[in-house]
Structure 1
Amino acid sequence: MLSRAQLDDAVTRQIIDAEQRDQLIALADGTLGARAERPQAQSLDENMRLIGGGNDVFVTIGVVMLGAGLLAALMTVIGDQRVTVFAIMAVFLWAVAEFVTRQRRMRLASTVIGLGFVFAVQAILTDLIIVNYDLAIPDNPLQLAAMRPQLGMAGTLFLGGIALSAALYFWRFRVPIMAGVIALCLTGLAFFYVTLFLYDGVTEGRLYMPALDDLPELLRNALYMPLISGLVIFAVGVAFDLHDRERVTVWSDCAFWLHVISAPLLVHPLFIMSTGQDVVFGEIEPGTGAMVMLAVLIAAFVYVALAIDRRSLLIPTLAYFGSLGIYYLINSAANQTGIPPFALILLVVGALIIMFGAGWQRIRSLIIGPTLPTSLLDKLPPIRVQSV
């Protein structure tokens, strides 16, 4: 029979999760029957597994205080050697993660430690790049053009270095938020390389310098970059979800962060492209056609979120549309009477949030179940409806 220490080691090695370990222990103790109903009740909701309990919060506070104290002490003693300071911080956070994350699997504390480690790495890379490439913010932004060779390598080292460190950290500790960090860095690299390609095209004569009148169309075309990046990140998140339909492994938690990141990258370009809003000055004056397209976008995102069982995709989407509605109401209140079109959108968004919060799985069963073929439903997260 496996001992408690062996089961804890299995959790550390990601063979089983903590909930499965507790169920095995309860089975050995003969108390599993009393707890059999609990996992089913919990599975009705999307388990983001961001906080492991009160002790997790307690340890997180301790880690923040300890790290802040060490950073303040190092800045006081050797503050002129920033690379050394943050190198020590990175080693310290890695050592803390060996206990808090590898041994105890504290979720919130592990997330905070991981983000602190990434921050320390980016601080090291920033200082090294500034010194080695002699980079400084010029007084005239046009002077940045003369720094093209240094900027190309510096940007690659900075974003690539952070992505590599996050990947190494994830390989060691399996902290899900590192998937989001990697996605953001790779998206930043994509934007960076496209910018360099366009700049080189202009300087080499392959592309012409856009005139001021061409700026709106240029910026509108630039929206394809975040749209493509968002689609790629969303596809990877869906792949993780399909790999773990029951949402019991770390890959499901990685998918949560990927959906959080992909939503804004998808929503904003689609909103601008479908409604014809002013991408340069951000003017929001939607007519009937724009409002209809906006409603279609909301409906599409709601359907996709229901299909893949991810409120983490829907929350940023509704927040974005709701923010647009508030922005429009504030800017139009002084010169309009009656009910502005976006007031209706706010009403719809607010009603959707309340409705989905109250009955997400039942809505999934009513909308997704009848509209998708069984072959596809068998690959998606199962629909769980609590019996009355």
Structure 2
Amino acid sequence: MDMGQKQAYEPLVIQANMDRLSDIYELIHMTIKAIYTKYYSDKAVEFFLELHSKENIANDISAGKVYVVIFQQEVIGTGTLDGNHIMRVFVSPQFQRQGIGTLIMDFLEAEIIKGHGAAWLESSLPAGKFYHNRGYITKGYEEYPLGNDKVLAYAIMCRKNFPIDPKEFNAPSQLVRREMELQGIDLDELRTVFPKRLYLLADSLYDTMLEKNAGTLTYHVGGGVYVMDHDNSVGFVKGEMCSPGIAAQAEDLIAAGAKELIHVGFAGGYPGTKIGDVVITDGAFHDTAVAGLYGCNGEIVRSTKELTDLLCREMDAKGIAYRRGCHRTTDAGYVQPYWSAKYYEDKGVLCVEMEGAGLFSVAKFRSCRAAGIYVISDSGSGDDWNLGWGEKALEASISKVIDAITNNG
């Protein structure tokens, strides 16, 4: 398909030339009159029309800063780029909510990150939600006087996290390959025999598993992987603490060949749970930097639904009672102010721990399946902190979960 055919079937972003000046000007002014009048006073609308004058647009075209979206030889969108500053993004009203704005922004941001670390823009009221959903954060507000004691306020927004390609960040594979070479092991061969499912066990859960002599230490990677005696496709390892620790560990284990990572740990319970309850999580509300660094910018990092469903079926088959829902991952395990706890309680969160979001973020980034099982070991905070260590209910749940892992894989 040549360029002409491609333009006929899908929108295309190209750099604008002076032949497009009138089309761009008319699109912008038509959009302002159709959309901005719903949000702004006549004086403010007049300001925007003057700001995007034919002369200003022409100057930017001459400087090579203006881009247009062409569809069937028609200009249906435009955007202007000045260094790392995005300006004058407009989409024809009849083409809005069809991905054209996203197409323009993807293009402009891709240009920016070739030489800059962040994208900046000023947002109008109609566009604020769109930019926010792309990951832009409001950094401040500016005002422009309109006369008669009236001002136009607008938001200054910035985005510094952008989609990343896992293939460009293959350091874990390089590192694990070298580690294996030093042990006389070929990584490609290792990946054919490495356990596909690994349980990352917290502290005493790991110790309990060792006491059962259920596996053999086989691979010195990711902290030392034990392979289950009853099923060599399943193994376990002592899980690292906190999101950064378990994220780095997950990277190594995935590079070695793991396809499923299941975190089994302890958590503080929110109201409605009690010591010894077992929680199978659907995902983690995250108060941790790791999630954002791996491109998970939403409030929740989800576990893998298919794997979580499978764990629930396995627990059902063993007759182990559990709660299912979302939990919270935090980097500050000892700082749980009331207002913060209340926010997540109102969200229906069942418990809080310090690793899940880190694991789920890496797993999503590397296309690995991940899930989490948590045993409620404590609740409350401060003087009302109820520690469950030594309680029969907690010890019984630990035993049940370990037995389920040992006997089921």
Q: Would you call these one fold, judging by a TM-score over 0.5?
A: no
TM-score where L is the length of structure 2:
0.27
Q: Tell me which structure has the larger Cα radius of gyration.
A: 2
TM-score where L is the length of structure 1:
0.28
More strand as a share of residues: 2
